[in-house]
Amino acid sequence: MSIPIDRRTMLRGVGVAVALPLLDAMIPASAAYGRNSAAVKSPMRFLGTGTPLGMHPSNFHPKMATRDYEMPRSLKAIEHIRNDFTVFTNLDHGLYGGHYTNHTLYSGVKVEEHKDHDEGNITIDQRYAEHVFSETRYSSLCLWHSDYSWTRRGIKVPSIRSTEHAFALLFADTSGIGSKRRRRNKSKFSAYPEESTADLEARNSVLDAIKGDARSLKTRLGAADRDKLDEYFTSIREVERKLQSSIKWSKIPKPKVNETPKSASDRDLDKAYEAWYDLALLAFKTDSTRSIILGTPGGGRAFKIPGVTSGYHDLSHHGHEEKKIEQLSLIDQCHLRQWGRFVEKLKATKEADGRTMLDTTITMLGSGMGDGARHNNENLPLVMAGGGWRHGSHINVFKRQKLNSLYLTILQRLGVKTRKFNTAETSFTGLK
């Protein structure tokens, strides 16, 4: 029988600290019977993948809304895991704007209209990140291409474009890096710059001084200016809260992994997907984050996919030419095939509480565009796996439900106590 040890126990050597997975010895004795006890429950996670140009509708959406639906051409790429995912039809945000509305995939609110909504145009990953906050080193990560992750204030979350940088951010020990090199890293990688504990504490002391001056100034201001100053205080509190979390995590060694970062150019879509999804899986396994958005490349590039000879954007405007539709479907299949590979890896990863990581992770792939050829934002291509739901179905909502209702239900499954997400105040029906 194991001697109880603390969950944050590290293996330490000279200059090395290795994080441990959740072991039986870390499980309270009261939870020994019934491993699904709340005391040992593995954390919930979310990963959303966004593609820029929709998918060819007739090759994606099944015709029958049943469990034994016939797989369309593009979905055949993940037919072998059909019982592990759900596909949706006629689900969208009811928005228009073509390419300029693609960024609403995970929010349902256009950035230019964020001030009209209580929660702005916050995306589901950021809403969950607010819930998780300092429980993980990074409350969220935005990887590869940035267009799908937004804050309450209408600010796009910058993405980490390099797998090498993302790997270093998650696992490299930077405690011995000098301030000059740290500043170089900060300018080279403007997203998620790392700072030393001393730097963070110095910034925090500056905030203390600012707060003191602001309080003194408040006694000399009129009502309107005091309101503005209150907004300022709110901003300071947000920064201070984030700084305190950063200071805490700057003192905790990063986990060590027996992996090296993979790299691939955007043109080699299959390999690039593998590199990013494998990195996301490592981030989840080490509990470095529980919320990830993965944005994929678009543009006019011709991907290195057998059978594809034309640029992605050009193929999306196929003009009903069968040769172009065939090539477009090969790209759509690549998106789905690699997402399916990620789903399989989640399912093969066992959690300490006896479940699989697929049970404790909700992952989606979709696009804010429905049909790239028509530049519409209706009937979005969407697949979802995990979360403990019974999958294997095709759900056609017949325009009776909106996508944000699904996101509300997902947030509730993730443990967020809320009855509203942006434009939705009713939960999604149809999942079991």
For 219-242, the pLDDT digits (tens) are 777 777 776 666 656 655 565 565
Q: What is the pLDDT of residue 185?
A: 47
pLDDT at position 313: 93
Q: Which residues of 218-232 are buried (b: 16+ CB within 10 A; e: fewer)?
A: eeeeeeeeeeeeeee
What's the pLDDT score for residue 352?
Answer: 86
**pLDDT over threshold 90, residue 287:** yes
Instruction: Give CA–CA dist 381/160, Å, rounded.
Output: 25
What are the residues facing 85 on neighbouring strands?
Answer: 385
> How far is the C-alpha of 150 from the C-alpha of 126, rounded, in Å?
7
- Gyration radius from the chain CA atoms: 23
| pLDDT at res. 20 | 40
pTM flag (> 0.85): no
Long-range residue pairs from 227-232, CB within 8 A, at least 24 positions apart, any chain: none
- CB atoms near residue 375 (< 10 Å): 18
Give the pLDDT score at 181.
47
Region for 203 from its dihedrals, namely left if φ exceeds 0, alpha if ψ lies in -120 to 50, beta otherwise: alpha
For 182-209, what is the mean pLDDT?
Answer: 50
CA–CA separation, 431 and 409 (whole Å): 9
Where does the pLDDT of residue 210 fall: very low under 50, low under 70, confident under 90, or very high at 90 and above? low
Whether 330 shows a pLDDT value over 60: the answer reads yes
Q: Phi/psi zone of residue 352: left (φ > 0), alpha (ψ -120 to 50 degrees), beta? A: alpha
pLDDT over threshold 50, residue 1: no
Helix (H, G, I), strand (E, B) or coil at 293: strand
270 pLDDT tier (thresholds 50, 70, 90): very high
Taking residues 158-186, report their average pLDDT: 69
* b/e 273-306 (16+ beta carbons within 10 angstroms → b): bbbbbbbbbbbbebbbbbbbbbbbbbeeeebebe
What residues contact 224, with CB distance under 8 A and at least 6 apart? Answer: none
Residues 200, 243: contact at Cβ < 8 Å?
yes
| Reported confidence tier of residue 206, pLDDT bands at 50, 70, 90 | very low
Q: Is the pLDDT of residue 252 over 50?
A: yes
The answer on pLDDT for 154 being more than 70 is yes
Residue 200 has pLDDT above 80, yes or no: no
Is the pLDDT at 416 greater than 80? The verdict is yes
Mean pLDDT, to the nearest integer, of 335-347? 97
pLDDT at 410 (0 to 100): 98
φ, ψ (nearest 5 deg) of residue 257 = -130, 150
Once rounded to an integer, what is the mean pLDDT over residues 128-152? 92
Tens-digit pLDDT profile for residues 30-58: 444 344 444 568 999 999 999 999 999 99
- Residue 45 phi, psi dihedral angles, 5° rounding: -135, 160
Counting residues of the chain whose pLDDT is more than 90, the rounded percentage is 59
Single-letter code of the amino acid located at 21: P
Question: Above 90 in pLDDT, residue 107?
Answer: yes
Q: What mean pLDDT value characterizes the chain?
A: 82
Q: For residues 287 and 216, give the distance between their C-alpha atoms in angstroms, rounded to a whole number.
A: 42
* pLDDT of amino acid 223: 76
Which tops the pLDDT comparison, 253 or 100?
A: 100
Question: Alpha helix locations (H) across 286-321?
Answer: 312-316
Rounded to whole angstroms, the Cα distance separating 252 from 10 reads 10
Indicate the pLDDT class of residue 255, thresholds 50, 70 and 90: confident
Band of pLDDT at residue 122, cut at 50, 70 and 90: very high
Say which DSSP state 246 is in: H
Instruction: Say if residue 182 is exposed, middle or buried (CB neighbours under 10 Å; 0-12, 13-18, 19+).
Output: middle
Residue 327: pLDDT over 70: yes
Check residue 78 and give its pLDDT: 98
Cα 214 vs. chain centroid, distance in angstroms?
A: 37
For residue 199, name the pLDDT band (cuts at 50, 70, 90): low
- Rounded Cα distance between 156 and 26, Å, is 39
Letter for the amino acid at 161? R
Instruction: Quote the DSSP letter at residue 52.
Output: S
Question: Is the CATH number of domain 48-172+254-413 3.40.720?
Answer: yes
- What mean pLDDT do residues 137-162 have? 91
* Confidence label for 243 from pLDDT (cuts 50, 70 and 90): low
324 — pLDDT class (breaks 50, 70, 90): very high
Query: What tokens were used for 190?
Result: 């403007």
Q: pLDDT exceeding 70 applies to what percent of the chain?
A: 74
| Contacts of residue 302, Cβ cutoff 8 Å, sequence gap at least 6 | 267, 308, 309, 310, 311, 312
Stretch 291-314: mean pLDDT, rounded?
Answer: 94
Residue 51 parent element (H or E): strand 45-51
Parallel, antiparallel, or unpaired for β 141-144 and 291-295? parallel
